[in-house]
Amino acid sequence: MAYFARKIGFLLIVLIAVTFLAAALIRLLPGDPATVIAGASGATEEELDQVRTDLGLDDPLPVQYVGWLGDAVQLDLGRSYISKLEVRDTISERAPVSFQLMLYAQIITLLIAVPLGVFTAYKAGTRFDRTANGITFAFLSLPNFVLGFLLIYLFAVKWNLLPASDYQPLSDSIVGNLKGLVLPALSLGLGQVAVYSRLLRVDMIATLQEDYVTMAKAKGLPIRRVLWRHALRPSSLGLLTVVGVNVGSLIGGAVVVEQVFQIPGVGLGLIGAIQARDYIVLQGLVAFVAIVYVLVNFSVDVLYAVLDPRVRHARASAA
Amino acid sequence: MPVPPQPDLTADAAPVTERELPAGVVSDALAPDAGSDGPVLRRRLPLSFWISAVFLALVILAAITADWLPFVDNVEDYDPTALAAGPSGDHLFGTTSNGNDVLSIVVQGARTSLTVGLFAVALGFFFGGLLGLVAGYFRGWFDTVISAVIDILLAFPALVLALAIVSFKGPSLTVVTITLGILAIPAVARVARAATLQYASREFVLAARTLGASHKRVIFREVLPNVVIPMAAVSLVAVAVVMVAESGLAFLGAGVPADTPSWGSLMKLGQGQLDKGAAHICLFPAAALFLTVYSLNTIGDTLRQRFDVGRGIL
């Protein structure tokens, strides 16, 4: 219990720190937000003052932050001065899109990585193992936007199989949605195959040395059954953690991939807000991304501790 | 990404994602089966290592000598008779839609990428290494504070931060380098701290202390030489991560200024031409980035594996 209490305490500190950082970011940047907001040069000094007062720009940073936080906990993240849209609505519109992209990326990655990890473990040290390792390592070195260009060139331009940029909501067309997101998901996910499959491979190799696996084989169970039913499950705990933690790197990657494929997710929103100097939207989106990131990492940590009691006891005794 | 990710400076092995992963996860996953190929120290370096090293040497050489290479034009030069032309004898990598020679931009872009990569990593390793060393050596409250700050900073998506800082500070080589360097500090500090912890309680450290050596001397003369080796392997992967981040930022339009040749901005320029029969504009810088990153990762990974195994024998 003390373990979870400490975790939650730390979680709150981190949440406050990252949202404060998002606020500070905008404050520390050069330029006067009021000028941008009130519309460049046309605004009079009174109008500028009005904007500053509205936004609390004259207050010290901590005061601004507390004000923002007070609104934010009531899910009020302010309103864009450019599009006049609520930041909250922008997020609820864009987040599901990014979420789908990351979900598809994870699914594709796991579909490739799990069988690969299982078989490379079974065939450890063989030519198949080395080849698979070499190929996945190459994909690991392929930045996701570079992979994106390559996929666009091959699948959209050369073979004309899939669209280069055509996002359709799931509610419009399931097939259209999948078609539009396959290439982005591949760009985002393929690099991670190496991380997942190698991790699973190492854990599987250890599991395959266990007595009960030898026992299962000695009983004459088909090797397929031994691998998938007996060995995979105890080997997959490490993989689970990394899949969770990896959501973090996917968030960063998704920003770039959304730009490559012009997918209207949070990342594209962020880039748009930066280019338009849309401070309120930017602060809201950065805070949102950071919060999601922190919460995912936290959940993985806790889940891991729940699944494997050794973790919380080890940490409790180490502290 | 990432930026970098990323994403992604976590030293050990898996580029790009490394920073997001808990220490050890990736390195464990990517570690070879120890000793599978016979005695470690006598094992020869694999062919892939040498190919990567030669390629990287060529890239570095081209980047340094770009101004004197006969096939590299000035940034302003353009060929009005060849707009978005494919590879030919005159223009080995073809030309952009403005008639600029793609090969020239790729070579000069290598200079930009390497400059950012090397200086940002140097910055990150100097400060991150120092913090990690001190935290890992002294432990106690300082370590607790540093570790907590590291955790908080790593909890922030680095690419998003870099994007925001660079686009507001205005695009310049210095801003990009310093931003990426600063973002590398927490990840490097974490690795340096972990490496220091392994040595800080060893006999030779204790012996030095008992003989009356100052903390400063012990840190720099006893601990540092041991920590430097694994960190060097890590730094190669870090250079790759930073180069990817630099290109990513330039692609997003928040990297080095428009008049500085860069792989990322060339890819951005070329993306619009992918379906107009001029895919070479985008694909050549993409290939350059991939091969460079692949080489750095391969060399870093080989050295790291060798080192990890070596550490086992000590």
Q: What tens digit of pLDDT does each residue of B211-258 get?
A: 888 888 888 888 888 888 878 878 888 999 999 999 999 888 888 887
Q: Which residues on chain B are in Cβ contact (under 8 Å) with A259?
A: 251-252
Query: How many other C-beta atoms lie within 10 A of the C-beta of residue A285?
Result: 28
Q: What is the ipTM of this complex?
A: 0.82
Q: How confident is the model at residue A273 (pLDDT cuts 50, 70, 90)?
A: confident
Amino acid sitting at position A271: I
Length of chain B: 314
Euclidean distance between CA atoms A106 and A113, whole angstroms: 10
Percentage above 90 pLDDT, chain A: 22
Beta partners for A79? A86
Q: What is the pLDDT of residue A29?
A: 60
Q: Of B245, B228, B233, nearest to B302 (Cα)?
A: B233
Q: How confident is the model at residue A312 (pLDDT cuts 50, 70, 90)?
A: low
Cβ burial, residue A109 (10 Å; 0-12/13-18/19+)? buried
Q: How confident is the model at residue B310 (pLDDT cuts 50, 70, 90)?
A: very low
Tokens (6 digits) for A111: 């579909």
Q: Which residues on chain B are in Cβ contact (under 8 Å) with A252?
A: 1-8, 157-160
Q: HSE on the CB side for A108, CA within 13 Å?
A: 19
List the single residue in B with minimal CA-CA distance to A27: B168
Tokens (6 digits) for A120: 């490379």
Of the candidates B3, B14, B165, the beta carbon closest to that of A140 is on B14
How far is the alpha carbon of A294 from chain B, nearest alpha carbon, in Å? Answer: 6
Pick among B6, B20, B298 to test the A interface (most A CBs inside 10 A): B20
Neighbouring residues of A136: CB distance < 8 A, sequence distance ≥ 6: A116, A193, A194, A197, A198
Instruction: State yes or no: pLDDT of A208 exceeds 80.
Output: yes
Instruction: State yes or no: pLDDT of A212 exceeds 90.
Output: no
Say if CB B20 and CB A244 are below 8 A apart.
no
Instruction: Please state at what angle helix A279-307 crosses helix A2-28, rounded to 10 degrees.
Output: 160
List the single residue in A with minimal CA-CA distance to B29: A199
Say if CB B99 and CB B82 are below 8 A apart.
yes
Tokens (6 digits) for A298: 């936290």
C-alpha pair distances (Å), B248 with each of A28, A256, A267, B56: 24, 7, 13, 20
Residue B249 at interface with chain A, using a CB cutoff of 8 Å: no
Say if CB B246 and CB B262 are below 8 A apart.
yes
Q: What is the pLDDT of residue B102?
A: 82
Residues of chain B numbered 256-275 and touching chain A (CB < 8 Å): 267, 270-271, 274-275
Distance between start and end Cα atoms, chain A: 14
How far is the alpha carbon of B24 from chain A, nearest alpha carbon, in Å? Answer: 11
Q: Does the distance separating the beta carbons of A249 and B17 come in below 8 Å?
A: yes
Euclidean distance between CA atoms A132 and B91, whole angstroms: 37
Euclidean distance between CA atoms B98 and B80, whole angstroms: 8
Instruction: State yes or no: pLDDT of A49 exceeds 60.
Output: yes
Cβ burial, residue A308 (10 Å; 0-12/13-18/19+)? middle
Please report which helix (H) or strand (E) contains residue B28, including its range.
Answer: helix B25-30
Strand extents, DSSP E, B193-297 = none
Say if CB A246 and CB A110 are below 8 A apart.
no
Beta partners for B95? B101
Q: Which residues on chain A are in Cβ contact (under 8 Å) with B272?
A: none
Number of Cβ pairs < 8 A linking chain A and chain B: 200
Residue B197 at interface with chain A, using a CB cutoff of 8 Å: no
Q: Does the distance separating the beta carbons of A143 and B283 come in below 8 Å?
A: no
Higher pLDDT, B97 or A271: A271
Q: What is the pLDDT of residue A185?
A: 94
Instruction: State yes or no: pLDDT of A231 exceeds 90.
Output: no
Highest-scoring range by mean pLDDT, A187-191, B101-105, B136-140? A187-191
Q: Is the dihedral of CA B261, B263, B264, B269 positive or negative?
A: positive
Euclidean distance between CA atoms A313 and B155, whole angstroms: 24
Of the candidates A199, A241, A252, the beta carbon closest to that of B159 is on A252
Q: How confident is the model at residue B119 (pLDDT cuts 50, 70, 90)?
A: very high
Residues A67-89 have a mean pLDDT of 82
Residues B281-295 have a mean pLDDT of 92
pTM, two decimals, is 0.82
Euclidean distance between CA atoms A143 and A135, whole angstroms: 15
Q: Does the distance separating the beta carbons of A252 and B7 come in below 8 Å?
A: yes
Say if CB B136 and CB B200 are below 8 A apart.
yes
Euclidean distance between CA atoms A213 and A232, whole angstroms: 11
Q: What is the pLDDT of residue A188?
A: 93
Euclidean distance between CA atoms A254 and A185, whole angstroms: 9
Q: Which residues on chain B are in Cβ contact (under 8 Å) with A281?
A: none
Q: What is the pLDDT of residue A33?
A: 65
Q: Does the distance separating the beta carbons of A146 and B286 come in below 8 Å?
A: yes
List the single residue in B with minimal CA-CA distance to A282: B164
Of the candidates A145, A152, A274, the beta carbon closest to that of B251 is on A145
pLDDT tens digits, A241-265: 777 777 777 887 888 999 999 999 9
Phi-psi map region of A124: left, alpha, beta (phi>0 left; psi -120 to 50 alpha): beta
Q: Does the distance separating the beta carbons of A191 and B17 come in below 8 Å?
A: yes
Torsion angle defined by CA atoms of residues B144, B147, B148 and B150, in that order, rounded to the nearest 10 degrees: 160
Percentage above 70 pLDDT, chain B: 81
Neighbouring residues of A28: CB distance < 8 A, sequence distance ≥ 6: none
Biggest CA-to-CA distance, chain B: 76
Angle at B65 between CA B59 and CA B68, to 5 degrees: 135
